[in-house]
Amino acid sequence: MTDIERVGVVGCGQMGAGIAEVCARSGLEVMVAETTGEALELGRTRLINSLDKAAERGKLTAQERDATVDRLSFTTDLGAFADRDVVIEAVVENEQVKTEIFQILDQVVTRPDAILASNTSSIPLVKLAVATSRPDQVVGIHFFNPAPVQRLVEIIPALTTGDGTIQRAEELVVDVLGKHPIRAQDRSGFVVNALLIPYLLSAVRMFESGIASREDIDSGMELGCAHPMGPLRLCDLIGLDTVASIADSMFQEYKEGLYAAPPLLQRMVDAGRLGRKAGSGFYDYG
Ligand SMILES: NC(=O)c1ccc[n+]([C@@H]2O[C@H](COP(=O)([O-])OP(=O)(O)OC[C@H]3O[C@@H](n4cnc5c(N)ncnc54)[C@H](O)[C@@H]3O)[C@@H](O)[C@H]2O)c1
């Protein structure tokens, strides 16, 4: 059985909010950190809205919803993570930002065998591990979007990760959170994004070269291959900045053209058209 009760989640964007929700719904006490009071309030609203929707759809009772909210707390001070048993970092896909967070977590988290996990999609775990004085306790725990719905979690040990950390991470994912784990080596993109990202980039290239409209590209894969969502809609769901950052990390890792982000993707990121979270991307969301 797991000895994890107190979880810290760094970042309350799409993924951080979802991960915090999954943990709190599973009975864990969850503290969420964001950069500013404003970002924290946005994240809190996102999380509460998601719980309300789940209650409306009958996925949890009103009592369970309230108990889940009671298990959540919010802070802008990572120092408040001192008593955490596990911390899951889910901030922007940027190596420098993540490295700084792991350095701070290393200083503030007091439990000697605490797990320091990252939800990164593509940044080498070993780089985050060696930024700390406890590289054996750093591991990738990679959830999928939306985290409360998607059953898969990738577990990615760095070269430095200890067997005890891997085992406890897997117990958390399976026994406590009820997710389905798969293991992957610490190679950019792991399993799912290594397959998914080249496909998404191909769809952007196809749209950019005018071969078909965005709707027809998406309908092609939805109706022709029974995908629940076409690739351009999926880019919008993931966030175009995140897709571009993952592609950049993978390109840096493998130096192969299929991972190179097409110019249109970068221009859309520069224009702030990041997808659903920004109100517009390949489609408009009002
Ligand atoms: N979007 C997806 O589909 C998806 C799926 C799996 C994994 N991921 C990974 O999850 C991570 C987050 O992605 P996202 O989609 O939630 O991005 P997002 O843009 O929705 O959220 C990122 C959040 O991080 C916060 N943040 C930035 N710096 C911070 C700091 N120093 N301290 C605390 N918070 C900070 C931002 O304020 C923002 O709220 C990335 O590593 C991404 O690769 C994303």
Residue 14 CA to residue 121 CA, distance in Å, equals 14
> Which residue, judged by its Cα, is nearest atom 11 of ligand 1?
90
Give bridge partners of residue 118 from the DSSP assignment: 89, 140
**pLDDT confidence of 152, banded at 50, 70, 90?**
very high
Is this prediction's pTM over 0.85? yes
218, pLDDT greater than 90: yes
2, pLDDT greater than 90: no
For the chain, the average pLDDT equals: 97
Per-residue tokens: 18: 């979802």
- Catalytic one among 50, 118, 119, 121? 121
From the CB of 242, is ligand 1 less than 6 Å away? yes
Contacts of residue 270, defined as CB under 8 A and 6 or more positions apart, other chains included, come to: none
Name the E strands within 35-110: 72-75, 86-89
Distance 212 CA to ligand 1 centre (A): 31
Which run of H or E residues covers position 7? strand 6-10
Q: What is the pLDDT of residue 286?
A: 84
- Catalytic one among 34, 89, 93, 142? 142
Instruction: For 158-190, write each residue's pLDDT tens digit.
Output: 999 999 999 999 999 999 999 999 999 999 999
Question: Which numbered atom of ligand 1 lies nearest the CA of 101?
Answer: 31
Q: Helix or strand or coil: residue 14?
A: helix
Sheet of 115-118, strands arranged across: 72-75, 29-33, 6-10, 86-89, 115-118, 138-143, 152-157, 180-183
Mean pLDDT of the region 131-144: 98
Q: What is the pLDDT of residue 264?
A: 98
Give bridge partners of residue 87 from the DSSP assignment: 8, 116
Q: What is the pLDDT of residue 154?
A: 98
Is 219 designated active site? Answer: no
Residue 145 CA to residue 242 CA, distance in Å, equals 12
CA angle (54, 60, 65) in 5-degree steps: 85
> Which residue, judged by its Cα, is nearest atom 20 of ligand 1?
13
**pLDDT confidence of 91, banded at 50, 70, 90?**
very high
Q: Which residues of 13-25 are buried (b: 16+ CB within 10 A; e: fewer)?
A: bbbbbbbbbbbbb
From the CB of 229, is ligand 1 less than 6 Å away? no
117, pLDDT greater than 90: yes
Instruction: For 267-284, write each residue's pLDDT tens digit.
Output: 999 999 999 999 999 999
Q: Are 167 and 183 in contact (CB under 8 A)?
A: no
Instruction: For 14-68, write each residue's pLDDT tens digit.
Output: 999 999 999 999 999 999 999 999 999 999 999 999 999 999 999 999 999 999 9
